[in-house]
Chains A and B, each alone.
Chain A
């Protein structure tokens, strides 16, 4: 399956600051997805990122809070802006390939204090 490297693996951040999470894939993929998993919850899709176009955000998520970049077919970043304790979650990137299906990164565990 596709190998996804996600950085950082965890971080503790002060409220009001921003954190940028990086997702690197070992092969070119058309679509990348960013998910959030709040404590004790399931995964919720934040946005879908295609290379060369604006990300598509799900209901309840906005670009000002979660700006996403997708500069090429193997890389994407998600920024969590102006953080509050409610943003404490695991953030995961995911890719899909026809042969491998959906693969997830190991996640970024964010704690906002």
Chain B
């Protein structure tokens, strides 16, 4: 079985500050890991994915995440927050091989001017 835990249902940062959204995973097989973003009243958009290649993954909109097996973590970061980053972010895990994706509970990011 696979699962992800997102620490912090709400995170607030000032515009221009570092964004750090935490995700820890549990998996019995080498995982595929994802970060998705959901803007208000919109669908899910893939930010980035880890599929056992480079441990530092760069995504869209300046986001990146680092896979740390020793810490079972896949935290999402962005050096400088923009107002447009305000959204809900979901960490997700899959065993790959066309199998289902399991989502975390989500973290709502608020960016303060």
**Footprint of B on A, CB under 8 Å?**
1, 30-31, 33, 41-45, 48, 92, 94, 96, 98, 101-107, 109
Contacts and interface: CB of A to CB of B under 8 A. Distances in A.
A94 B101 contact: yes
B113 interface: no
A107 to B, nearest CB: 5
Contacts of B36: 104
A94 B90 CA distance: 15
Contacts of B42: 106
B95 to A, nearest CB: 12
Contact of B43 (A41, A44, A92, A101): A92
B43 A105 contact: yes
Interface of B: 32, 34, 36, 41-44, 46, 49, 51, 90, 92, 94, 98, 100-106
Main secondary structure of the interface of A (DSSP, over half): strand
A42 B104 contact: yes
Contacts, number: 45
Contact of B98 (A43, A96, A103): A96
B44 A92 contact: yes
A98 B99 CA distance: 11
Contact of B34 (A42, A92, A98, A102): A102
22 contacts: A30-B98, A33-B101, A41-B105, A42-B90, A42-B103, A43-B103, A48-B100, A92-B43, A92-B44, A96-B98, A101-B32, A101-B46, A101-B51, A102-B46, A102-B92, A102-B94, A102-B101, A104-B44, A106-B42, A106-B43, A107-B43, A107-B44
Given A1-B46, A107-B43, A45 B100 contact: yes
The listed residue with most A CB atoms (<10 A of its CB), out of B34, B44, B106, is B44
Contacts of B90: 42-43
Given A42-B104, A42-B105, A101-B34, 12 more contacts: A1-B46, A33-B101, A43-B103, A48-B100, A92-B43, A92-B44, A94-B101, A101-B46, A102-B46, A104-B43, A104-B44, A107-B43
